[in-house]
Amino acid sequence: MTDKLQVIMDMYYAKASEAITYGTGTFLYDGIRVKGHMTPMGLEMVDGDTITIPR
């Protein structure tokens, strides 16, 4: 819960189609824009919570 979320964001870009340019996505959790330096603990996330990437 203390790992930075950048790891997950990088994994998303690595698996996403080439149509998505690295660094151009907006990651949201409970209406908050998620940034790579944030942690699940800092966002008070619990198991099962979801980060969304609106298009």
Tell which CATH classification among 3.10.20.90, 3.40.630.30, 2.40.50.140, 3.40.190.180 matches the domain 1-55. 3.10.20.90
- Give how far Cα 45 sits from Cα of 9, 12, 14, 25, Å: 16, 19, 24, 20
pLDDT surpassing 80 at residue 39: yes
Note the pLDDT tens digit of each residue in 2-35.
899 999 999 999 988 777 888 888 999 999 999 9
Distance CA 49, CA 15 (A): 20
Are residues 42 and 2 in contact, defined by beta-carbon separation less than 8 angstroms? no
In this prediction the pTM is 0.82
